[in-house]
Amino acid sequence: MYKILPHPLATNYGGILQAFALQQALKQHGVESKVVNFFSKTWQSWLSSFNLRATCGSIRYLLQIIFLGTPRSFPNLFYPYLFKRFKKKFMQLWELDILRRNLSDLAVEEHPFVVGSDQVWRCAYTRKMESVPFFFLNFATKKQRQQSIAYAASFGSDEWEGTPEETEECARLLKDFKAVSVREHSGIEICREVFGVEAVQMPDPTLLLEQEDYNHLIRNWRTKSTDTPFMAVYLLDETEEKRTLTHTLSKEIGLYAQHLMPHPGAEKLMDRLPLSVPQWLRFIRDSVCVLTDSFHGCVFSIIFNKPFICLGNENRGSARFDSLLGTFGLRDRLVTNYDKDAILQLLNTPIDWERVHTIRHSEQKRALQFLQENLT
């Protein structure tokens, strides 16, 4: 039995699907696992997980909804429910109290870990939710670390963002790992130069499953589609420039823009509310094409063979996009200049999906060999 240690499974579609996919990939090859899931057990736990500023912000948003009818914050109330249902239905979990009161139980049980994937080693993120060394298993016994691996762990950047103290501790911890793999090619050099550890590059866990595995999720959840052809739009960092581009592209190619993030002012009720994970998958699967600034938006466009445009997103780590799209020979799909004519030409340029499938299967074989060699 292994424990998978990802980012806390909050309300991020790519984050929860990579944890699901890694667990399924292990299961398909005879390895049982549980995904570590941070949860709030008591009212005191809930209070302690929010600082004063966040709590006041939540109260302000609630008052706006009640007295001003402001819908912008309302969708956020649905996310925890939707994601909790998905985890309960499709995943095996190991519950970790948000106050870490049962953290000792996580370490006492002599089960090794699979750390990753996603940006578990990006300090700018992990420092906000946990200490950086936590995701290098500083709470585990040395024996556990020696039996543990990192699978496609991501730094999210071409550079290590840790302090000297964090670097020293993480290097010591990582040297205990049985095997280390990273998601981006740049992570190999970081491991070697910063930590003195050899690593290999492995594909994101979501790429280890096939279309049918995700179709299974869609079939086993109540989802909807539309008879109107549409362009799926998944933008994590929406700006006025991106909104203008979306509207222009939608008009030029004659496709309805189906947003995969809540749009409070949208005409359709479905577009104002957050989507379930299977519904999010279905909209990508059923779309004509995809416009996104998300790493996993690109990944699932590839999995479902959808022509896509990736809008450069430096804030969320460009190394991820360079490595992913470079692997599949699709770097031209990453654009930073929002030139309408150039993007339209890209959308009309066919992707050699047979070549992409060949690369995917080759990557899957590499990953399977890595897992078979390093999981006992």
280-313 residue pLDDT tens: 999 999 999 999 999 999 999 999 999 999 998 6
Chain segment 298-355, per-residue pLDDT in tens: 999 999 999 999 998 666 667 789 999 999 999 999 998 889 999 999 999 999 999 9
> The CATH number of 217-361 is which of 3.90.1860.10, 3.10.20.600, 3.30.1490.390, 3.40.50.2000?
3.40.50.2000
What pTM does this model have?
Answer: 0.89
The yes-or-no verdict on residue 206 having pLDDT over 80 is yes
pLDDT number for residue 57: 58
All structural domains of the chain with their residue ranges: 2-207+364-374, 217-361
1-5, 64-68, 74-78: which range is least confident on average?
Answer: 64-68
Query: Which of 111-115, 150-154, 271-275 is least confident?
Result: 271-275
Residue 100: pLDDT band with limits 50, 70, 90 = confident
Whether 359 shows a pLDDT value over 50: the answer reads: yes
Question: For all residues of the chain together, what is the average pLDDT?
Answer: 88
Residue 25's nearest CA partner among 102, 103, 116, 126 is 116
Asked whether this chain's domains 2-207+364-374 and 217-361 adopt the same fold, the reply is: yes
Mean pLDDT of 114-136: 88
Please tell me the distance from the alpha carbon of residue 206 to that of residue 304, in angstroms, as a whole number.
12
pLDDT at 22 (0 to 100): 97
What pLDDT score does 31 carry? 94
pLDDT at 265: 65
pLDDT at 43: 39
If one looks up domain 2-207+364-374 in CATH, what number appears?
Answer: 3.40.50
Q: Quick one: average pLDDT of 94-106?
A: 81
Per-residue pLDDT at 53: 53
Q: Give the Å distances, CA to CA, from 145 to 137, 139, 155, 171, 177.
A: 7, 10, 19, 13, 5
